[in-house]
Amino acid sequence: MDALKVLLLFLLGASTGLALLRVPLQRGRSIRSQLRADGVLWDFLREHHPDAFSRRYAHCYPAGTPSLRLGRTSQKLFNFMDAQYFGQISLGSPEQNFSVIFDTGSADLWVPSSYCVSQACAVHKRFRAFESSSYSHDGRSFGIHYGSGHLLGVMARDTLKMGNMSVPSQEFGESVYEPGSTFVVARFDGVLGMAYPRLAEILGNPVFDNLMTHNNMDQPVFSFYLTRQSGSSRDVDGQLLLGGTDEALYDGPITWLPVTTKAYWQILMDGVSVQGLKSLCPRGCEAIVDTGTSLIAGPTNQILTLQQLIGATPTSIGEFFIDCARLSSLPHVTFVLGGKEFTLTAEDYVRKEMLEDRELCLSGFQGIDIISPQGPLWILGDVFLTKFYSIFDRGNDRVGLAPARHPA
């Protein structure tokens, strides 16, 4: 359900304990936004402005950054075009490194197999089972289907390492067939899902469940800090923190929202308004907090109304464009969660891209119809999560949100 995300480099914390892992994140377009959306604009940009897809970003934290306190480590998230966030893990003995999207909208771990026959696998790192002494073949097959793409593979078990945390015999998928162009252009190798086990296609415990079992984490919690490029010449990245939160990265207090259905990180949203006037969710609606989706998505009819209210113009390629000269006059969009207002300005919800020497401004909202027993679902993706620090608490089955503390 989302957009395309990119490579993540892995940073090891210098903590003496095993309780907290800091993961630096690099940004790139989310996989599920790419798969479930048309993605035509990105094909258009790749064809006419290929340099945009070779941008390099700097790290927010130097390698070897110590963890926040005893028993914690973290990884950096790297950013690509304000769209994907990815980091590094290792599988096998000896270790084989892979860049993966840390995706709260899915629950499976998969990487390409050395036996994969698709073009996508040829341009990414592939797992070589025959080189790992700790590898165990599962024997079952799996398939994961996205809106405009899918992959097939076989299941396996091997040692997973993330910084100083490890999981023996982690179930994961080795993809052997990745048709189409979606995975070819992706900067990540695979996906590491962080949703509830109920959402898993691959049988067995998801990675975070196993981390809670095999590692003495401070808390059964992980949190994301995402940032935007905003025209900066330096890398703009973020981090995933396993085992707790980093109070230096947000301004309190935290708004806690109970999970309503333990599959996605699904919460109740009180309403959505534009400049405080038009309610798009008048009686409340369900929303997914999803790091694997680049945009903010909602029911198509309501998103079309929202696009009109912010002055976005539809195009033949399925994207909505906004006049860049009008950004300062565009209305605020407010999401009401737990009785508290979370407001986005135009600078927050408009994506900027360069096409040759021309700046393009695109709406950060997207229509996707997802039906659930609770009604149509909204998706609070990265456009929302760059503004707000997000905390995922498995111990209390709740999501926490607080304004992210970005540098001036």
Residues annotated as catalytic are 103, 290
Residue pair 344/332 in contact (Cβ under 8 Å)? The answer is yes
Strands 73-78 and 96-103: unpaired
SS3 136: strand
Could you give the C-alpha distances from 303 to 299, 349, 360, in angstroms and in order? 6, 13, 20
Q: How far apart are CA 384 and CA 296, in angstroms?
A: 7
- Quick one: which of 131, 171, 132 has its CA closest to 154? 171
For 163, the token pair is: 């910084």
Strands 285-289 and 296-298: unpaired
Rounded to 10 degrees, what is the CA torsion of 31, 32, 38, 40?
-20
Q: How far apart are CA 390 and CA 399, in angstroms?
A: 7
Q: How far apart are CA 292 and CA 24, in angstroms?
A: 16
CA atoms within 13 A on the CB side of 288: 35
Supply the Cα-derived Rg of the chain in whole angstroms.
Answer: 20
